[in-house]
Amino acid sequence: MGITPHLVLRGTTYCFRMAVPRHLVRMVGRAEVSTSLRTVNRKEATLRCRYLSNSLDMFFRGLCMQKGPTFEEIDAEIKAYFQKALNWSLEFTEVLMDDITLDADTEAEGLPTLIKDFQSQLKSGSFSQSVQSDAHELLAPLLPSGGKANLGAIRHACRGIALAKIEQYRRLIGDLTGDFSGLGQGDPRFAGMFATGYPPMKGEEDQSGSETLQLIATRFRDHKQAIGDAAKTIADFDVTMRIVYEVIPSNRPIRAVSDADIRGIRDLLKRMPPNALKAKAAAGKTFSQLAAENEKGPYLAYATQEKRLRFFRTMLNWAAEEGYLDTVPGQKVAVAGKKQKAQTGGPYSREDLQIIFSTPVYTGRASEARAGTKGDHVFKDAKFWVPLIGLFSGMRLGEIAQLHRTDLNSVDGVWVFDINRSEDADKKVKTDTSLRLVPVHHTLIDLGLLERRGDTALGKQLFPEVEPGKNGFYSHNFSKWWSRYGNTFGFHGDKKVFHSFRHLFTDALRDIEAPDYILKAILGHSDKSITASYGHGAKLSLRQSYVDKISFDVPALNDLIDRERAVGK
């Protein structure tokens, strides 16, 4: 007897099993279709199996021909759905709870049962008529006129709505009882969302069909994440929108945003104090309150004001490109003041280097943790290596701190630092021109840097003790430590920061008369000359020859090098 595809015998009963085509798994919501054929008769089971197989083949072909909304588009609508739910909860707790006939504890008691019901629906994949109805309503604006959503879109929308209701009720329990200890970690889609106001009264709903400012901001934020923008950029946008929402209500239709609103944002920015964005300084006050109290200044720097307004304009421009706006409001509204050239500091002096390499990190410290206390131990950790690499390579702090061990390797016989982007988005690179190979100065090799590369106990990172900050940048925490260390020993100031190593290295390259194209290749600067587009650039061996020519006649540094070379022998 021949083998019938998808027919499986389980005990004495025949079953049907068929894999879902890989490219349709997300749309269908499962990787396999499996069910009992409810028969012990082989012939009967074969007929049922063939019928199911043919039916599913036709169903999968139909799915391939359907075009529907993407999961990203559906998620944006789910967030908007959740926003409305949060606003309803706000109205319930702050308005309806004033009714003396209602008891908060009694209202909260029934919510866990509702949560369990939605959890059961999620587990079984069988959703109530109410959830399905909400899902179809949610998907309707994303479909062409008369179009129908495919099964994958409906299932994704149903799951999102169920998760939104669970999160809404979890938060509502906290609002009603004052006990938020049971919240824990919710669905990440709803992280950072909060009520923005009461829902509109009946008859007051926007009749224009225009999306709200907050909905567009959410979609723009999701877009920025999808294209891989840095966490710091996303955080900057979030801060900008906090300021915007104090001028423009978040539920205002995006098409109703006017030139006057943009001027209002501009005027609020120019009255805000420099420390307004720091939670400790704000002490729970709104930006408008801080601005009102700041009559005599000082005010936000011009560059910061311009940056905030530019972030909001970028979102509005995107909204116009996506068809949410016909024209971008406030295009001619400008920040008052004079644009200043960015100050990145200056190079460290010879005296600065003498101080740096006379500190405990290089002469001996009390312990690995007590880097600022004199002692007998020299630990070759990140605090030891990162400044030395900055001095002898001109690399940015962020580029050094995020290095993997495999980024220190030999290419064409030259040891290099490979500045690249990692597949897991672990690294942040300033621009595409920053992607480059930087020759390792012979002094770093003499000091034993290659031994660290071979230390598998370190794991992936070359400097695992340097942890990324909350903004996702490895430079964040190290920069703070370097500033404190510099203040302690007197080599830190407004124009003396870690970036001063990069300035000093650049000057050193110029002092040995390195050509401009060599400087740009090593430092990762853009070269817009016509000849730069020809060939493969300067050879690594040539770049290495210039890097190795660099030296710094600093007694404390020379002592360190001599001491380590002696130890190596």
Output the DSSP codes for 21-51: PGGGHHHHT-SEEEEE-----HHHHHHHHHH
Report in angstroms the alpha-carbon separations of 152 from 60, 120, 164, 166, 515: 11, 19, 18, 21, 59
Residues 6+ apart with CB under 8 A from 484: none
Question: What DSSP designation does 377 have?
Answer: B
**Phi and psi torsions of 252, nearest 5°:** -70, 135
Domain ranges of the chain: 7-65, 70-185, 209-333, 350-568
Q: pLDDT tens digits for 407-424?
A: 999 999 999 999 887 765
Number of Cβ within 10 Å of residue 153's Cβ equals 24
Q: Which residues pair with 351 in a beta bridge?
A: none
Q: Which of 449, 373, 440 is nearest to 413 (CA)?
A: 440
The owner of tokens 């000093």 is 504
- Residue 172 · residue 179 · CB < 8 Å: no
Structure tokens, 351: 């005296």
Asked if residue 298 has a cis previous peptide bond (ω within 30° of 0), the answer is: yes
Rounded Cα distance between 265 and 312, Å, is: 10
pLDDT for the residue 276: 76
**Contact residues for 227 (Cβ-Cβ < 8 A; gap 6+):** none
Nearest to 161 by CA among 255, 223, 85, 91: 85
pLDDT of residue 16: 92
Question: What element of type H or E holds 8?
Answer: strand 7-10
| Residues found in the chain | 569
d(CA 238, CA 236): 5
How many whole angstroms separate alpha carbon 326 and alpha carbon 211? 13
Q: Of 355, 392, 363, which is closest to residue 493 (Cα–Cα)?
A: 355
Q: Are 199 and 212 in contact (CB under 8 A)?
A: no
Pick the closest to residue 479 from 401, 565, 385 (CA basis).
401
Task: In whole angstroms, give the CA distance from residue 550 to residue 356.
Answer: 18
Beta strands in 108-156 (DSSP E): none
H or E element at residue 170: helix 151-177
Question: What are the backbone dihedrals phi and psi of residue 16, each rounded to the nearest 5 degrees, phi first?
Answer: -110, 130
Q: Please, what CATH class does the domain formed by 209-333 belong to?
A: mainly alpha
Phi then psi dihedrals of residue 281, to 5 deg: -70, -35
Q: Exposed/middle/buried for 504, CB within 10 Å: 0-12, 13-18, 19+?
A: buried
Question: In this structure, which CATH number among 1.20.950, 1.10.3470, 1.10.443, 1.10.10 belongs to the domain 350-568?
Answer: 1.10.443
Alpha-carbon distance of 508 to 498, in angstroms, equals 16
**pLDDT given for residue 98 in this prediction:** 61
**What gap in Å lies between CA 7 and CA 36, rounded to an integer?**
10
β-partners of residue 8 are 15
CA distance 316 to 259: 12
Residues lower than pLDDT 50 in the chain: 202-209, 342, 528-536
Side chain identity at residue 322, one-letter code? E
Query: Which residue is associated with the tokens 């490109």?
Result: 321
pLDDT of residue 410: 93
Cα separation, 536 vs 105, whole angstroms: 72
DSSP sequence for 242-305: HHHTTTS-TTSBGGG--HHHHHHHHHHHHHS-TTTTSHHHHTT--HHHHHHT-TT-----HHHH
Q: Report the pLDDT value the prediction gives residue 184, as an integer from 0 to 100.
A: 65
Element housing 16 (H / E): strand 13-19
In whole angstroms, give the CA distance from residue 380 to residue 452: 9
CA distance 167 to 175: 12
Give CA–CA dist 215/253, Å, rounded. 9
pLDDT at residue 91, as a whole number: 75
Write the CA distances from 69 to 72, 221, 547, integer angstroms: 8, 18, 54
pLDDT at residue number 206? 44
User: What is the residue type of 59?
Assistant: F
